[in-house]
Amino acid sequence: MIWYIARRIIYLIPTLLIISVIAFAVIQLPPGDFLASLISKAEETVDQAQVDALRERYGLDEPIYVQYWKWISGIITRGDFGDSFEWNRPVSDLIWERLGLTMVISLFTLAFVWIVSIPIGIYSAVKKYTIGDYLVTIIGFIGLAIPNFLLALVLMYIAFRYFGQSVGGLFSPEYIEADWSLERVLDLLSHLWLPVIILGTAGTAALIRVMRANLLDELSKLYVDAARARGLSELKLLFKYPVRVALNPLVSAMAWIFPALVSGSAITSIVLNLQTTGPLLYRSLQAQDMYLAGSLILLVSVLTIIGTLVSDILLAWIDPRIQLQ
C-alpha cells in the first residue's frame, strides 16, 4: 500500500509538468496579450513608448519558452507565481485565501451531495417504480434541469426577503476585511449553506441517478440472493452487500468535484459574489492576465490530481479487487 501511494506520487511529477506547459500554452494562444487588451479598453490613446516600456518590464517581448521558464522556475524555487498585471500584485497574494475558501465550499458541497443523495438513491432503487421513486426522480430531474445561477437568484431573494440575511458573498459586510477569528469562522459557516445548497443541487440530482442505477445493478446479483438464502434480514443485507459495492463508483467520481467547483461554477460564484477562484479565473482570462490565469489553472489541476489520488487510494482501500501491484 505504501509503495502504491509512493509510486502514484512519483507519477504525479511528470503529469504536473505537462499540465503546466499546456496551461501556459493555452493562455498564450489567443492573439494579443495583456497590454493589447488594456490598450483596447483604454479611453485615451496610449503612448507607444509607454507601452513598450511596460512590455519590456513584464517580459512580454521575450519568446514564450523563456516566459514559461521564468514562471515555472519561480514557482518551484521560490513559490513565486509571478505578478498579476491587472491587480498589480503578486499572484500568490491573490489566490491563497480564495483557494482556501474554494476548498472549504467544495468539501462542504461534497458532504452535502453525499449525505443527501446516497440515502435517496438507495430508497429510489429499493422502491423501484413506486410513487416514492417517481417523486424522487422528478425532483431530481428538476434539480438537474434548473441552471444553478437561476436557483441562486431565487434562493438569494428568499433568504433576503423572508429571512433578512445579507445575501451574496461568504461573509457579513463587517467581516469581509477582518482578520481570521472565531467570529469570522462562525460568520462564514452561517453564510455557507446557501452556496452549498445551490452548488450541490445539480450534483445531488446526478448522484441520486448514479446511486440508483448502481444499486439496481447490484440488487439483482446472485451474491445478494445467496446472502438472503443465509437468512440475513433485508436491511442488513442491503447495506452489507449491494450498497457497499454500489458505493465504489461514487468514490472514484469524487475527484471530479474540484474542477467542477473551481471552473464549472464560475457563473454561480459571480452571481453569489463568492470569493472563490472561479470568478477570479474568469476575469483573468478575459484580461489575458497570463500569470494569474496560468497559476490558477495549474493549481486547479494540482487539486484535481490530488483529488484523483485520494479517490484512488480510497478505492484501493475499500475494494479488494483492485490490485496494488
Partner 1 sequence: MQPTHTRLNAAAATDDVLLEVKEVKTHFFTDEGVVKAVEGVNLSLKRGQTLCVVGESGCGKSVTARSILRIVPPPGEIVSGEILFRQRDGRTVDLAQLNPKGREIREIRGGEISMIFQEPMSALSPVHTIGSQIMEAILLHLTVTKQEARKRAVSMLDLVGIPRPSETLDAYSFELSGGMRQRAMIAIALACEPQLLIADEPTTALDVTTQANILDLIADLQQESGMSVLFITHDLGVVAEIADEVVVMYLGRDVESGAVDAIFHDPKHPYTRALLQSIPRYDSRDNKRLYSIKGTVPHPFDRPTGCPFHPRCDDFIAGQCNLIDPQRALISRDHSARCLLYPTAAIHNPDEEPAT
Minimum distance between the CB of residue 123 and partner 1, rounded to whole angstroms? 16
Asked if 159 and 193 touch (Cβ cutoff 8 Å), the reply is no
- Of 173 and 320, nearer to partner 1 (C-beta) is 320
The only residue of 12, 153, 232, 253 in contact with partner 1, by rule CB under 8 A: 232
SS3 assignment, position 176: coil
Minimum distance between the CB of residue 286 and partner 1, rounded to whole angstroms? 48
| Measured distance CA(263)–CA(18) in Å, rounded | 20
Under the criterion CB under 8 A, does residue 126 sit at the interface with partner 1? no
Minimum distance between the CB of residue 318 and partner 1, rounded to whole angstroms? 7
Under the criterion CB under 8 A, does residue 221 sit at the interface with partner 1? yes
Question: Which region among 32-40, 53-61, 161-169, 241-249 touches partner 1 (by CB under 8 A)?
Answer: 241-249
- Of 3 and 129, nearer to partner 1 (C-beta) is 129
The only residue of 113, 245, 262, 299 in contact with partner 1, by rule CB under 8 A: 245
Question: Which region among 59-67, 169-177, 192-200, 233-241 touches partner 1 (by CB under 8 A)?
Answer: 233-241
Phi, psi (5° rounding) for residue 183?
Answer: -60, -40
Minimum distance between the CB of residue 242 and partner 1, rounded to whole angstroms? 9
Phi, psi (5° rounding) for residue 181?
Answer: -150, 170
* Alpha carbon of residue 170 to chain centroid: 16
| Measured distance CA(59)–CA(241) in Å, rounded | 61
Under the criterion CB under 8 A, does residue 1 sit at the interface with partner 1? no
* Alpha carbon of residue 263 to chain centroid: 7
How large is the C-alpha radius of gyration of the chain? 24
Under the criterion CB under 8 A, does residue 41 sit at the interface with partner 1? no
Under the criterion CB under 8 A, does residue 97 sit at the interface with partner 1? no
Asked if 219 and 125 touch (Cβ cutoff 8 Å), the reply is yes
Task: Quote the Cα angle for 119-125-126, to 5°.
Answer: 90
Q: Which residue has the cell 514557482?
A: 75
The only residue of 40, 48, 88, 220 in contact with partner 1, by rule CB under 8 A: 220
- Of 164 and 320, nearer to partner 1 (C-beta) is 320
Under the criterion CB under 8 A, does residue 78 sit at the interface with partner 1? no
Asked if 105 and 198 touch (Cβ cutoff 8 Å), the reply is no
The CB density around residue 236, as the number of other CB atoms within 10 Å, is 10
Subset of 283-322 contacting partner 1 (CB under 8 A): 318-321
Give the DSSP H/E element, type plus range, for residue 83. Answer: strand 83-84
Asked if 53 and 309 touch (Cβ cutoff 8 Å), the reply is no
The only residue of 7, 89, 127, 244 in contact with partner 1, by rule CB under 8 A: 244
- Residues shown for the chain: 325
The only residue of 93, 119, 225, 286 in contact with partner 1, by rule CB under 8 A: 225
Minimum distance between the CB of residue 212 and partner 1, rounded to whole angstroms? 16
Under the criterion CB under 8 A, does residue 229 sit at the interface with partner 1? yes
| Measured distance CA(89)–CA(96) in Å, rounded | 13
Under the criterion CB under 8 A, does residue 241 sit at the interface with partner 1? yes
* Number of shown-chain residues binding partner 1 (CB under 8 A): 23
Which residues sit at the interface with partner 1, rule CB under 8 A? 220-223, 225-234, 240-241, 244-245, 248, 318-321
